Amino acid sequence: MNKSELNEEEIQLWYKWKGSFHSIFGRVIKEMSDHTGLSEGDYGVLDRLDLLGDGSLRQQELAESMDWDKSRLSHHLTRMEKRRLVMRKPLDNDRGVQVIITPTGKSALNDARPIVSMAIRKHFLDQLTDQDVESITKLAERTKKGSAASYNAPAP
Amino acid sequence: MNKSELNEEEIQLWYKWKGSFHSIFGRVIKEMSDHTGLSEGDYGVLDRLDLLGDGSLRQQELAESMDWDKSRLSHHLTRMEKRRLVMRKPLDNDRGVQVIITPTGKSALNDARPIVSMAIRKHFLDQLTDQDVESITKLAERTKKGSAASYNAPAP
DNA sequence: AAATTGTAGTTGACGTGTCAACCATGCTAT
DNA sequence: ATAGCATGGTTGACACGTCAACTACAATTT
């Protein structure tokens, strides 16, 4: 009975929201991958291996920290292994797998960090007013019902 | 010289922004595709054919209105044609192609409309404060430098 | 001990996106 | 006329994502 049709403004708001996200996000990722050859996923993996695991993590922990399912991560690691960015090593006690960043991976990550930072600042942070920051923060708070992974960096 | 490192809050803001978007957007799309079998792309194509073209558009106009490149659209239409959601018909004067919504496509679209509306209301609009709305609107304004496609529905 | 369940990860199939190369045709300039 | 160039679209290769089915083995249950 509740028809719930959206009016023009509501539809436009949805499109604006989508549009801003894709535009900003796309610019950041493109800047990184143009300069480093890493994709967003590559960077996420390497970053977590480095910061959360000091170079290596169990595959499962890595998956959780990225909020990726095991299949997605498995496929992605297979591709990254081919490019020598990471290695996999089976654990024999536990039946898990250790994912280890290679020197190549570490160096790619180090190259990417400043570029990513600059890109996020330029395309995202510099575009935001204080009100936007507050809005984003609160919306995230309201939104994150049951989505575990919020990537809290390891304690200092 | 400009190191431009991000501090913890800045990084977290980026992750919160990404997280909210994916969470909300994912819920809307999942609700639609669970109930109708249409993907986001399918819906976008059908919606524009219906509203902008009254059932058909030149492939290139469709591409522009979606802000997709011709290759992406060509691949997508090939898949949609297989499922009988649209048809392609070559134009002989001009060397273009007319994309036409089929009865199947039209009916799928009509089924999807209320579901999409409800999902957008539930997962997106209902989560927003007035401040969020203002923030989204203004950010989109500031952001849309040179990105043509903002999908303005045809005049009433 | 044998059967069941749970955990960790892999695999294949297929939809989606991007890029570069290609094809066909119409337009323009020589 | 012909040589280029622009337009509109297709194609193939490959990266990325998702789903369901599968393997392997450890831990419990019976």
**Domain boundaries of chain B, sorted by first residue:** 38-132
Instruction: Give me the residues paired with residue B86 across strands.
Output: B101
Fold of B38-132: Arc Repressor Mutant, subunit A (1.10.10)
Chain segment A14-65, per-residue pLDDT in tens: 999 999 999 999 999 999 999 999 999 999 999 999 999 999 999 999 999 9
Interatomic CA distance for residues B120 and B61, integer angstroms: 26
- Note whether B11 contacts A: Cβ–Cβ < 8 A: yes
Q: Residue A4: which of B18, B20, B118 has the nearest Cβ?
A: B118
A36: left (phi over 0), alpha (psi -120 to 50) or beta: alpha
CB A92 within 8 A of CB A41: no
- Segment B79-110, tens digit of pLDDT: 999 999 999 999 987 789 999 999 999 999 99
For strand D, the positions having any atom within 7 A of a protein Cβ are: 7-13, 15-21, 24-26
| Residue B76 CB-density burial (10 A; 0-12 exposed, 13-18 middle, 19+ buried) | buried
> What digits encode the pLDDT tens for the residues A95-123?
899 999 999 999 999 999 999 999 999 99
Q: Residue A156 CA to chain centroid, in angstroms?
A: 21
Please determine, for residue B71, whether its predicted confidence score (pLDDT) is greater than 70.
yes
Q: Which of A51, A40, A33 is nearest to A101 (CA)?
A: A51
Asked if residue A41 keeps its beta carbon closer than 7 A to nucleic acid strand D, the reply is yes
pLDDT of residue A148: 42
Contact B43, B80 (CB under 8 A): no
Q: pLDDT for B101-138, tens place per residue?
A: 999 999 999 999 999 999 999 999 999 999 999 999 99
Are residues B17 and A136, on separate chains, in Cβ contact within 8 Å? yes
Tell me the per-residue pLDDT of B7-17, one tens digit each, with 9 for 90 and over.
999 999 999 99
CA A44 to chain centre: 5
Contacts for B17 with CB less than 8 Å, ≥ 6 apart: A21, A124, A136, A140
Give percent of chain A with pLDDT exceeding 70. Answer: 90
Q: Is the CB of A89 under 7 A from strand C?
A: no
Question: Would you say residue A143 has pLDDT above 70?
Answer: yes
Instruction: Using a CB–CB cutoff of 8 Å, tell me whether B91 touches chain A.
Output: no
Which CATH number applies to A39-131: 1.10.260.40, 2.30.30.110, 3.90.1150.10, 1.10.10.10?
1.10.10.10
Q: What is the pLDDT of residue B16?
A: 95
Cα–Cα distance between A149 and B139 in angstroms, integer?
26
- Give me the residue label for tokens 């999902």: B119
Q: Which residue has the tokens 């539809």?
A: A11
Q: Phi and psi dihedrals of B31, rounded to 5?
A: -60, -45
